[in-house]
Structure 1
């Protein structure tokens, strides 16, 4: 028996590199997966691949910064698969610029996507979990939230907020059978990282600097995140809540 047989899972940002890997991981273990993404085509590519492999999957266009869009996405998911058992807040966006070179419009977009969006998702999904007395929430933060990262001040602030928010909800809802845990990726080989390195004067030199800084000796791959996320989402983690783990190849070793 698979760990997620009969479970309904929502993954935001499911059309991206890490999100797609998480969707594949859940589907491989029996879950019905709602692939939420603002990019309809990206969500459909992931969902179609899962369906072709025999999984139950649904592509759902969703802008997590808009509460009406979130509510519609959750309603569509529950209509197709039933109540949401697992919520993975993975969608995010970053801007690699020193803080004094940013403008308020940048802050607003970063906050809307990385903080307000997950709040919207929690507020839409959590009442059902509380009512049923069970649920798993896994929030994707960042090692930037734990140790800081030059050029990512507002992003890091948002991701640190997600950690504190998750710990608080873990305290508020443990008695309801709902757990909240956080996974913090380090540098991971995704389209977002590619956009950063390609903007550098010497992209390969920057990528090599990332690689040298990681004790395991390579950049993370999207599939590297799946093990930690699926553990937190599983029954094996029923007594684990309010915890934070880095998946960074040892780049950060926060206590």
Structure 2
């Protein structure tokens, strides 16, 4: 277990991709700090399963991120995964939704990184992994805030990689296509309304239309790549943005 003795913070890890990553890091010996919201009993069960600490801070505010980092303590592996989505034509896009998505999907990653880096530099080792999206490389209509935030994550990751390259710290992004998670499932009704489609049409003609494999990405596939990026064999992989999208962005 090559991560024994190291602490890993995974934001947005009470479900979906984040939970799969937390489980995979725990399996390699990491002490895991969970973050996210959900039923109290379910989170308590996850903490028992993973021997983990949970910090349910609100990452849409700087104060919330600072609270998370203070309670988590020094982290060796930082996985910026928390995110949200809203689907709407740009002229109808609620400004408060824009602000919230940019805050959670992009600004929170900056704030966690700035607070995690001093410890990583001091020990000469660290891993920063950001869950981006195929939307960090391509756009889709009606997702202005999400696409903007994920493009920002790609740029932030590159900048971190360059700044930290001589400190034994890597920074990489993973860009999945559509993964069957609550985030994807919950955007179906909005997409149905925005495009005047049925649920089946959204599933087949929107969500999987761009993925040549016609299969949803599985959270465990993303987690496996995150674990590899933490290995010493990946020490020269930095500033990369890996696609796991069934061929979507290959077109």
TM-score using structure 2 length: 0.90
Query: How far 1:16 moved relative to its partner?
Result: 2.4
Q: Please give the residue correspondences for 1:241-252 in structure 2 after superposition, counting only pairs within 5 Å.
A: 241-252=238-249
Q: Distance in 1 between matches of 2:44 and 2:236?
A: 31
Q: Distance in 1 between matches of 2:151 and 2:210?
A: 22
Q: Distance in 1 between matches of 2:68 and 2:227?
A: 22
1:172-228 Cα offsets, whole Å, 9 max, x none, are: 111111110000111111112112223424112221223354222311222221111
Q: Is the counterpart of residue 57 in structure 1 residue 52 in structure 2? A: yes
Q: What is aligned with 1:4?
A: 3
TM-score using structure 1 length: 0.89
Structure 2: 5+ residue stretches without partners: none
Q: Please give the residue correspondences for 1:11-160 in structure 2 after superposition, counting only pairs within 5 Å.
A: 11-37=10-36, 39=37, 41=39, 45-46=42-43, 48-49=45-46, 51-52=48-49, 55-78=50-73, 83-160=74-151
Q: Distance in 2 between matches of 1:12 and 1:168?
A: 20
1:50-104 Cα offsets, whole Å, 9 max, x none, are: 533xx431111111222333223223222xxxx3110000001111112222132
Q: Distance in 1 between matches of 2:177 and 2:2?
A: 26
Q: Is the counterpart of residue 208 in structure 1 residue 199 in structure 2? A: no
Aligned length: 245
Name which of 181, 204, 221 aligns with 1:190.
181
Structure 1: 5+ residue stretches without partners: none
- Partner-residue secondary structure (3-state), 2:137: helix
- Partner-residue secondary structure (3-state), 1:252: helix
1:132-168 Cα offsets, whole Å, 9 max, x none, are: 2110000111111201111112211111111111101
RMSD: 1.9
- Partner-residue secondary structure (3-state), 1:204: helix
Query: How far 1:253 moved relative to its partner?
Result: 1.9
Query: How far 1:107 moved relative to its partner?
Result: 1.8
Contact 1:114 1:158 (C-alpha < 8 Å) held by counterparts: yes
Q: What is aligned with 2:232?
A: 235
